[in-house]
Amino acid sequence: MKHWKSVGALVVMATMLPGQAPQAPDAATAQALKKFDEMKFGMFIHWGLYAIPAGEWKGKYVRGIGEWIMFRERIPVAEYGQLAKQFNPVKFNGGEWAQLAKDAGMRYMVITSKHHDGFAMFGSKASAYNIVDATPFGRDPMKELSAACGERGLDFGFYYSQDQDWHEANGRGNNWDFPEKRNAQPYLEGKVFPQVREILSGYGPLRLIWFDTPGLLSEQQVTELRATVKKLQPGCLINQRIGHGRHDYAQTGDNAIPIQVYTKDGKWEVPATLNDTWGYKKNDQHWKDPRDLISKLCDIVSKGGNYLLNVGPTAEGVIPADSQRILRTIGQWLAVNGEAIYGTSPSPFNMRDITWRATAKPGKLYLHILNWPGKSLRVEGLESQVTKAYFLANKAAVKFKKAGNGYEFALPAKGLDENVTVLALEIADQQAKVADGFRADQAPARLDLHAWVARLQGEEIRYDWATQSATHLKVFEQETNRLLWYPYKSLGGKYDVEVTYSCDNAAAGSKFRITSGRRGVAERSELTGVVEGTGGKFATKKVAGVLTVNPGAETINFQLEGDDKSAGMKISKMTLVKRAD
């Protein structure tokens, strides 16, 4: 699958760097950003013609994300376009989708108005390649959906693929039907600007527009695109994937969560999947555990982000039952614990392990207990006086005492909630005072990068809750499974590295590689080693050499290389130990 990396992804990734300042907000944008920050949790929907093949082409399973099937299989426009004649989502019901989002505790919805395949999922005058004119369905589902969201008080927004368009000779990406040479301007003028005006005019107020994979548009073109949006709806937020820093708020990579509180570059959002695809794939049953997703919501919000969680409806217009089950479980948790999520500010503490996370409101701290610590919880570095502590789940008072440089809370033997139990604290200060070394903007000198905090990339890799480690580190020629951590300006300097893992003696011997840097940029730091047998028990091993993490580093990676004899190893964490030099 060489083309996947070389043609599409790489060009795109290299421009997807965090750490870009947003545009200075005018009044309408500032007000929208405030609302957006309060919402914390939204529904992403990838829905289009790709839901028909659903991850299979001509009887063959196609690896990778479902909405990329046209690209991966080099399906000619004429052939892919035939799918429109079959697209008839008779079971679509906008009210049900909006209600599901509401039941999940989501506060906004973002749906694909046009993905990279170029097919408009709304009635478009600018291109006949749209759901009203080209399908037997003949309806505009986006009208119904935007209205249904409005009725339920959910904010609404559109995803729009502005640069990649595999249906158009002058859109980016399709080099199997069209010559490589491309002139983006007529494509922008003929399709993108008119369609963007259409989606901003016919569907009520949009909270945001979600552009994607900016790639190769010029700064001038992107500036014009931004102006097109703001002229019609000044309060419509623009996401970072518009490119050239013309955004109002940022995206992390998909399923990529910063390792620490991250507030240096304005508001950000984590787009994430419930399984391993965005567009529906019938074979993808790798559903994430609601406990994991709820914990990730707490983790993201405590670091300053929003969580945009995706569903991929079928070609009939149905959101898969497993997605619905998972989302409703999250909603039940939020119905009890939403006070600790919506409208909160990020943690005043840095993140030292995966026991708890914090969010804050004036005079209050919420401790989200992700991994039950037993009969007491120690919170080091909390200097503000605690006046009251209680669980959100039952309002029962919790005993506490000052201990060392912080507090100790007396807990029952087990959590009140099988997912995350929230302990609310009332404190004597409006904003918590935190001791030196424990504050959010200070990285601990010994920093554990837990597997749970990493993005686990690849179809085979799994997180094992029992041992809190990642496993199935399969090696493939082009898309090796790996762990990726995102420092996002929280680290800088030289580090000794330790890896904590277990490996059966018989499986030992694969080479591993740890890198820090930016994809596609020369100045990378890299360490290698060999996986040792640990008799199946967890052990901490020092890695030879020194890892340099510069403040602009996008990721820190761990992966196997060459063979994957040791794929079944379990990695629980990497520890970065700051060097004096």
Binding site for ligand JFZ (CB under 6 A): 12-13, 16, 65, 67-68, 212-213, 253-254, 271, 278
Least distance to ligand JFZ from the beta carbon of 504, Å? 33
The residue with tokens 């499986």 is: 507
Closer CB to ligand JFZ, 12 or 497, in the complex: 12
Shortest separation between residue 437's beta carbon and ligand JFZ, angstroms: 32
Separation of alpha carbons 556 and 577, rounded Å: 14
First vs last C-alpha separation in the chain: 43
Nearer to ligand JFZ, 46 or 573 (CB): 46
Inter-CA distances, 534 with 451, 474, 507, 538, 565, Å: 18, 19, 10, 7, 15
DSSP designation for 53: T
Q: Residue 111 or residue 398: which is nearer to ligand JFZ going by CB?
A: 111
Q: How many CB atoms lie within 10 A of CB 127?
A: 21
Q: How many Å apart are CA 420 and CA 415, to the nearest integer? A: 8
Task: Choose between 68 and 438: whose C-beta lies nearer to ligand JFZ.
Answer: 68
Q: Minimum distance from CB of 239 to ligand JFZ (Å)?
A: 10
Minimum distance from CB of 251 to ligand JFZ (Å)? 7
- Using DSSP's 3-state secondary structure scheme, residue 527 falls into strand
Q: Which is nearer to ligand JFZ, 251 or 502 (CB)?
A: 251
Q: Which residue is nearest to ligand JFZ (CB)?
A: 253
Structure tokens at 411: 């807990």
- Look up residue 120 and give its two tokens: 């408009």
Residues 6+ apart with CB under 8 A from 34: none
Choice between 29 and 273, CB closer to ligand JFZ: 273
Name every residue whose Cβ is closer than 8 Å to that of residue 237 and which is 6 or more positions away in sequence. Answer: 29, 32, 33, 36, 157, 207, 208, 209, 248, 249
Token pair 């003929």 is found at 190
Smallest gap from residue 443 Cβ to ligand JFZ (A): 23
Residue 379 CB, nearest approach to ligand JFZ (Å): 34
Residue 176 region, left (φ>0) first, then alpha (ψ -120 to 50), else beta? alpha
Report how far residue 135's alpha carbon sits from residue 344's, in angstroms, rounded to the nearest whole number. 44
Between 71 and 203, CB nearer to ligand JFZ: 71
Min dist CB 8 to ligand JFZ, Å, is 7
Please identify, using beta-carbon distances, which residue of 12 and 62 lies nearer to ligand JFZ: 12
Q: Smaller CB distance to ligand JFZ: residue 12 or 423?
A: 12
What does residue 36 show for φ and ψ, rounded to 5 degrees?
A: -60, -40
